[in-house]
Structure 1
Amino acid sequence: MSSRLASISVDLDSLHHYCRIHGLPETVLDDRARALVYATAVPRFQELLGAVGVPGTFFAIGEDLSDAGAAAALRRAHDAGIEVANHSYAHDYALTRRAPESIREELVRGEEAILAVTGTRPVGFRAPGYTLNAALYAATVERGYLYGSSVFPAAPYYAAKAAVMGALALTGRPSRSVLDSPRVLLAPRTPYRPEPAQPYRRGAGPVLELPMAVTPGVRFPFIGTFATTLPLFGIRAAWLACRGDAFFNFELHAVDVLDETDGIPPELVRQQRDLLVSASRKMQRLETLFRWLKEERDVVTLREAAERLSHSL
């Protein structure tokens, strides 16, 4: 067993959340498009993980599980050994701007929805839009979470997000996403225990934080959107830059295995350009990257990674 760990996690954000990011009306989505994440993406990721022989963690949004088809797909993934963690109840990008009791309710409702489907209470949480603050961290502590995986200290991503949000505002089609505090850019890029009052700093908080993978130095984001679309040699260079890290947290989204032929409306495809890359090509790329992880590291769920890393932190 390798002393170095890796985890693969997938945020199951449905397409209406991308409409909100890009300032599009959700009416552009028909019933098929609304169901795509659980009807198509979840089985594809389950197949991909099974083919490589590695586990994964799915971050589910509680309100989506009121749909019987979505609940059945998530239950099958859970029964296949995939960890299901909490991605909040409604994926409100402004969650950290809400009152503490409202934040707590979002976590509780997300937990209850996942528990009802899988029979297992989630022990991990990822914030909508990767935005963390003291009140949200306190809620994860109160709810007894083992780990959080919300910190994304990627400078290029932060700059690009700010530019896109600014451009959308100028067109009169503002994004419903939220730009995080620039303090996140100084957050640790490796697992740490946060300072509860300032969770982007190291401290002694009980809930372990597992940041998403970014390279040393420039902190280039190693996430699905880039890993499936950029030239392979660039992705290989980013992977090699992270080789010295004890833990590698590869974060993806459900859309990373979807494309325009799956029934995504052209209005959204024009904004989410990675959807122009074929799903088969993206899955081939992801299989390659998953095999890199498997060859050099012990690939585990985020829950197991937190359990093993907590002893040294």
Structure 2
Amino acid sequence: MKPVASVSLDLDNLWAYLKTHGDPAWERRPSFLPSAVPRLLDVFGERGLTTTVFVVGADAERDDGAEAVAKIVEAGHEVANHSFGHEPWLHRYSPDELETEVARAEQAITAAGAPTPTGFRGPGYSVTPQLLDVLRRRGYRYDASVLPTWIGPLARAYHNRTAGSAHDAADLFGGFGKVKAPNSAYRWGSTGLVELPVTTMPLLRVPIHGAYLLQLHQISPRLARGYFRTALRLCRARTVSPSLLLHPTDVLTAAEAPGMEFFPGMAMPGSEKVALLGWVLSLLRRHFDVVGTGEHVARVSGSVLRERDPVACG
């Protein structure tokens, strides 16, 4: 049998990117969901993949977001919680604010026709002991917020250089210490929650998800494909079951996401993006049994997982 791997999609909308970037145009709540969701579902469907889609509650409340949730559920994908307001500084929220944030997103997701979510991912890979406690009390099975890499400060520097925001981004995306986090599933101590981290390249601990591959593809398509092949070889060699993260921007053009010229890979034609994503998913499926994150957690939960103190997450 092939080892398990998972694919998940963070359904971040155009307004959420602009808000984090400090662009006041976000207040008009521009959306690219009507373009992105059918295209992504087609890519998944063509390869017979069932994934997990992390949905933002504020989008599930709007007509195009509710329609997207309905299509996702109809296609057989898991819907998980990606917060209500998609603010990548949940680590600054009080316990009461966290409770409200998680609960409002749940309510919006279920009102749009999806089952009550049992998985959560914080925007900007934001997770704290207080958030884990909220998830435990609300009956969640897993969190998928950790990105075990050393590049957080570099991503923050890029964000600060390009953003027009007055937000204090002093701790956005975490510090170099994230590299110490495990790259495979583990449990958060007595909470019982499983953490399924977003996989980074074993040993080097550099990200392997969409935006990074697209940036490399702009330099050299051969480089991008060699990079991803190397990541999968190392995952197999190190017995890491990869959990691959995707975003709508992995299939959208700059014209479909106005104001996002700053984002990696937005200069690429949409057809090239779709072709690269299709190749990535086909290669992943060749070597692994690819499922959604909820199923991934279900399969590894029966094995002995290392435990980590929730304090270690921040």
Residue pair 1:96, 1:103 contacting (<8 A) in 2 also: no
Q: 1:98 to 1:190 in 2, by over 3 A?
A: same
In the TM superposition, residue 89 of structure 1 has moved relative to its aligned partner by 0.8
For residues 134 and 82 of structure 1, the distance between their equivalents in structure 2, rounded to whole angstroms, comes to: 28
Asked if residue 164 in structure 1 is aligned to residue 158 in structure 2, the reply is yes
Q: How does 1:66-81 map to 2 (within 5 A)?
A: 66-81=61-76
- Structure 1 equivalent of residue 204 of structure 2: 218
- Structure 2 equivalent of residue 268 of structure 1: 260
In the TM superposition, residue 24 of structure 1 has moved relative to its aligned partner by 2.1
Deviations 1:118-177 (A, max 9, x none): 241011000111011110111111111111100001113x132132244358xx644565
Deviations 1:235-261 (A, max 9, x none): 222222222334110001111111113
For residues 274 and 246 of structure 1, the distance between their equivalents in structure 2, rounded to whole angstroms, comes to: 27
Amino-acid identity (%)? 32
- Structure 2 equivalent of residue 104 of structure 1: 99
Residue pair 1:23, 1:176 contacting (<8 A) in 2 also: no
Asked if residue 294 in structure 1 is aligned to residue 288 in structure 2, the reply is no
- Structure 2 equivalent of residue 35 of structure 1: 31
Residue pair 2:7, 2:244 contacting (<8 A) in 1 also: yes
- Structure 1 equivalent of residue 312 of structure 2: none
In terms of mean alpha carbon deviation, does 144-153 or 175-184 score higher? 175-184
Deviations 1:172-196 (A, max 9, x none): 64456524254422111110002xx
Q: Which amino acid aligns with 1:222?
A: I
Residue pair 2:10, 2:54 contacting (<8 A) in 1 also: yes
In the TM superposition, residue 45 of structure 1 has moved relative to its aligned partner by 0.9
Asked if residue 278 in structure 1 is aligned to residue 263 in structure 2, the reply is no
In terms of mean alpha carbon deviation, does 226-235 or 273-282 score higher? 226-235
Tell me the C-alpha RMSD between the 2 structures. 2.0
Residue pair 1:12, 1:60 contacting (<8 A) in 2 also: yes
Q: 1:184 to 1:268 in 2, by over 3 A?
A: same
| Structure 1 segments (4+ residues) deviating >3 Å | 172-177
For residues 20 and 86 of structure 2, the distance between their equivalents in structure 1, rounded to whole angstroms, comes to: 12
1:256 aligned residue (225, 250, 255): 250
Q: 1:175 to 1:102 in 2, by over 3 A?
A: closer
Residue pair 1:23, 1:175 contacting (<8 A) in 2 also: yes
- Structure 1 equivalent of residue 43 of structure 2: 48
Q: Secondary structure at the match of 1:47?
A: helix
* TM-score normalised per structure 1: 0.88
For residues 126 and 28 of structure 2, the distance between their equivalents in structure 1, rounded to whole angstroms, comes to: 29
Listed as ranges, the gaps of 5+ residues in structure 2 are 217-223, 306-314
For residues 183 and 205 of structure 1, the distance between their equivalents in structure 2, rounded to whole angstroms, comes to: 22
Deviations 1:61-101 (A, max 9, x none): 00112211221121011111011100011112221211101
Residue pair 2:153, 2:173 contacting (<8 A) in 1 also: no
Asked if residue 150 in structure 1 is aligned to residue 148 in structure 2, the reply is no
2:60 aligned residue (48, 62, 65): 65
Residue pair 2:90, 2:98 contacting (<8 A) in 1 also: yes
- Structure 2 equivalent of residue 188 of structure 1: 182
1:242 aligned residue (216, 235, 252): 235
* TM-score normalised per structure 2: 0.88
Q: 1:273 to 1:184 in 2, by over 3 A?
A: closer
For residues 129 and 43 of structure 1, the distance between their equivalents in structure 2, rounded to whole angstroms, comes to: 25
- Structure 1 equivalent of residue 23 of structure 2: 24
In the TM superposition, residue 273 of structure 1 has moved relative to its aligned partner by 3.7
In the TM superposition, residue 272 of structure 1 has moved relative to its aligned partner by 1.3
For residues 154 and 49 of structure 1, the distance between their equivalents in structure 2, rounded to whole angstroms, comes to: 27
Residue pair 1:152, 1:211 contacting (<8 A) in 2 also: yes
